[in-house]
């Protein structure tokens, strides 16, 4: 028996050595993401008494998947570039639901790296939050991580709710672990970020969608329930199905519908690309309408209860993230048209009978501007449902990276849409919402200026967050060039304006400029590089007879704090 024990011990040692070699090979090959987490996993146990886990991130570290379990049962899974060496920034995870319990955190990392994760009642970097060097001052950005598509913005019970695609675990995203971020506001400009509205569940990651108020309790979740309709994405099968979550506590928490998914068209459509449901109530037919991106365009569905959906029609030619709404033509409510657009600024004007959209225009575009990668800066926009004053206000994802920051991407400033007759025909016009005035600080006002006069005055205003409005008269064949820190933002020609007379409005923030020409007939979004250039806004016109009839410049306060306003005009 002693000899047998010796042979078993030798065999056991060989097996252990082989297993260690295998685990080392797996780690070196970077295959951990495709193998059970236990192969390369280390663990740490923490008794939760605080709200947050603060997690150190290394920008060059490999993205790995980590698990939180309680009493051996998995509770949550998330990816992170956990810093093994130097720490570039910190992310945080709200662990309030585990208060008073011991959690086991496991993942492919060293004990040293796991040991640097700590719990706290504050997020790491709380003192500098919203004061970071390259954080925009009046364009919405998240506390930490990545943000993209706007989801289901809505006015509900006295406040605006903004949702978006959130990856709170780093500044490079993983589509298999997206959340629905959530923020609220009283005025569309000052936002307060809340905990995520939706996280990953058994059907997958909650991708883009929309929100509605179920006033008649059609779904059976309660009268006036706030209902989110979204795509669930399974990161293993890549299947995309449509699901519902609802809130009966004024949008504080959301519960998944037990009958999810409510719509699965993958087989019928012959593709997994079935996503981004835009849902709204259509009063003439007393039915809910869903516009869903499928393969090569937008499909239309009807429902009486938000749960059973019937296919109606399909419109080819748009891609992803539909927004669909009706607007009066030239402010005449007796003459209205429908606008359909996808992820990009491309749109069609037409009519809608509750089941079919009939285009009455060619493909048009309401915005222009590419980022440094050549992509449209404005993408995946959505308009607010149930606006209290009837305006059609939209927010869009601004595809811009803020260098060196613990967050990435931004939301462009909210714009109001109008449908107006122009010299080129019926067009969708976008202008900044009037609530921007709540961010104005010091005001500079001048009139009857040449370009030389204007630049002398503008030279006294240092670069920084600004809002500029001007009325200009251009001589025939002249043009106006607008520059900021040496970069050309836009050029306006005589022919762009009505007999050379028109307006321009400019928003300048960290890393972005938005320019609105002649009441939104042109809407230009430009990425601004990080720079210490002391040059601010400059205006060039070629002919001496061209003038700025009025020129108003406002220094902007931060949307994150209400600063004292100095409104003394300067002339």
- Looking up tokens 């600080």 gives 441
Estimate to the nearest angstrom the gap between the alpha carbon of 415 and the chain centroid: 15
- How far apart (Å, rounded) are the C-alpha atoms in residues 284 and 287? 8
Q: Does residue 261 have a cis peptide bond before it, meaning omega lies within 30 degrees of 0?
A: yes
- Looking up tokens 């008794």 gives 47
- How far apart (Å, rounded) are the C-alpha atoms in residues 25 and 42? 16
Task: Report DSSP letters for 105-168, one per residue.
Answer: EEESS-HHHHHT-EEESS-TTGGGTT--TT--SSS---SSEEEEEEEEEEEETTEEEEEEEEET
Q: How many CB atoms lie within 10 A of CB 319?
A: 16
- How far apart (Å, rounded) are the C-alpha atoms in residues 422 and 427? 7
* 165 contacts 180 by C-beta, under 8 angstroms: yes
- How far apart (Å, rounded) are the C-alpha atoms in residues 310 and 263? 9
Task: Report DSSP letters for 490-555, one per residue.
Answer: EEEEGGGSBTTEEEEEEEEETTEEEEEETTTTEEEEEE---------EEEEESSTT-EEEEEEEEE
Catalytic residue among 124, 149, 376, 496: 149
DSSP annotation of 180 reads E
- Range list of H helices, 130-284: 266-269
Question: For the chain, give me the number of helices (H) and strands (E)?
Answer: 4, 39
Please report the beta strands in 353-462, taking only residues with DSSP state E, as ranges in sequence order: 357-359, 364-365, 378-383, 392-398, 407-408, 410-411, 415-422, 425-432, 440-449
Phi-psi region of 72 (alpha: psi -120 to 50; beta: other; left: phi over 0): left
- How far apart (Å, rounded) are the C-alpha atoms in residues 313 and 164? 28
Residue 329 structure tokens: 């033509």
* 340 contacts 291 by C-beta, under 8 angstroms: yes
* 3-state DSSP assignment of residue 489: strand
Phi-psi region of 445 (alpha: psi -120 to 50; beta: other; left: phi over 0): beta
* 3-state DSSP assignment of residue 455: helix
Is 264 a residue of the active site?
no
- 89-125 burial, b at 16+ Cβ within 10 Å, e below that, comes to bbbbbebeebeeeebbbbbbbeeebbebbebeeebbb
- Looking up tokens 């200009």 gives 472
DSSP annotation of 467 reads E
- How far apart (Å, rounded) are the C-alpha atoms in residues 92 and 120? 10
- Catalytic residues, by residue number, are 149
């Amino acid at each position: 028996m002693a000899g047998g024990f010796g042979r078993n011990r030798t065999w056991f040692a060989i097996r252990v050595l082989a297993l260690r070699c295998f685990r080392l090979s797996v780690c070196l090959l970077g295959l951990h993401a495709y193998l059970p987490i236990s192969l390369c996993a280390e663990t740490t146990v923490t008794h939760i008494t605080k709200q947050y886990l603060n997690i150190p991130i290394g920008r060059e570290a490999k993205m790995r998947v980590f698990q939180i379990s309680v009493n051996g049962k998995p509770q949550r899974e998330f990816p992170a570039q956990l810093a093994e060496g130097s720490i570039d920034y910190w992310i945080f995870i709200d662990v309030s639901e585990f208060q008073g319990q011991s959690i086991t955190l496991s993942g492919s990392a060293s004990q040293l790296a796991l040991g640097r994760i700590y719990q706290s009642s504050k997020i790491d970097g709380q003192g500098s939050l919203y004061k970071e060097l390259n954080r925009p001052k009046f364009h919405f950005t998240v506390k930490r991580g990545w943000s993209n598509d706007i989801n289901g913005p809505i006015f509900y019970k006295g406040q605006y709710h903004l949702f978006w695609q959130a990856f709170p675990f780093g500044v490079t995203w993983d589509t298999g672990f997206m959340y629905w971020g959530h923020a609220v506001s009283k005025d569309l400009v000052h936002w307060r970020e809340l905990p995520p509205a939706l996280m990953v569940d058994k059907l997958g990651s909650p991708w883009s969608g929309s929100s509605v108020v179920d006033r008649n309790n059609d779904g059976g979740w309660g009268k006036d329930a706030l209902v989110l309709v979204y795509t669930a994405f399974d990161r293993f099968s890549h299947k995309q199905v449509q699901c519902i979550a609802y809130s009966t506590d004024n949008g504080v928490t959301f519960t998944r519908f037990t009958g999810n998914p409510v719509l699965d068209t993958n087989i019928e459509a012959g593709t997994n690309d079935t996503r981004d449901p835009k849902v709204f109530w259509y009063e003439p037919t007393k039915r809910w309408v869903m516009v869903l991106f499928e393969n090569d365009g937008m499909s239309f569905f009807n429902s009486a209860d938000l749960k059973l959906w019937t296919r109606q029609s399909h419109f080819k030619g748009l891609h992803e993230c539909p927004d669909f709404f009706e607007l009066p033509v030239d402010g005449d409510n007796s003459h209205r048209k429908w606008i359909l657009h996808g992820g990009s600024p491309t749109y069609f004007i037409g009519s809608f009978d509750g089941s079919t959209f009939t285009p009455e225009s060619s493909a048009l575009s309401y915005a222009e501007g590419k980022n440094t990668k050549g992509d449209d800066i404005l993408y995946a926009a959505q308009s607010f449902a149930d606006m209290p004053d009837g305006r059609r206000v939209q927010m869009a994802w601004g595809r811009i990276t803020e260098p060196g920051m613990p967050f990435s991407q931004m939301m462009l400033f909210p714009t109001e849409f109008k449908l107006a007759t122009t010299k080129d025909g019926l067009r969708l016009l976008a202008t900044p919402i009037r609530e921007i005035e709540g961010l104005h600080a010091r005001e500079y006002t001048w009139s009857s200026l040449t370009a030389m006069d204007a630049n002398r005055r503008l030279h006294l205003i240092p670069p920084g967050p600004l809002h500029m409005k001007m009325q200009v008269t251009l001589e025939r064949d002249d043009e106006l060039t607008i520059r900021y820190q040496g970069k050309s933002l836009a050029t306006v020609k005589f022919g762009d304006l009505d007999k050379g007379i028109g307006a321009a409005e400019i928003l300048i923030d960290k890393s972005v400029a938005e320019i609105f020409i002649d009441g939104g007939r042109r809407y230009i979004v430009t990425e601004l590089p990080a720079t210490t250039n002391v040059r601010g806004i400059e205006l060039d016109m070629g002919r001496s007879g061209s003038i700025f009839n009025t020129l108003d410049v406002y220094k902007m306060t931060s949307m994150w704090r209400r600063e004292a306003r100095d409104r003394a005009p300067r002339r």
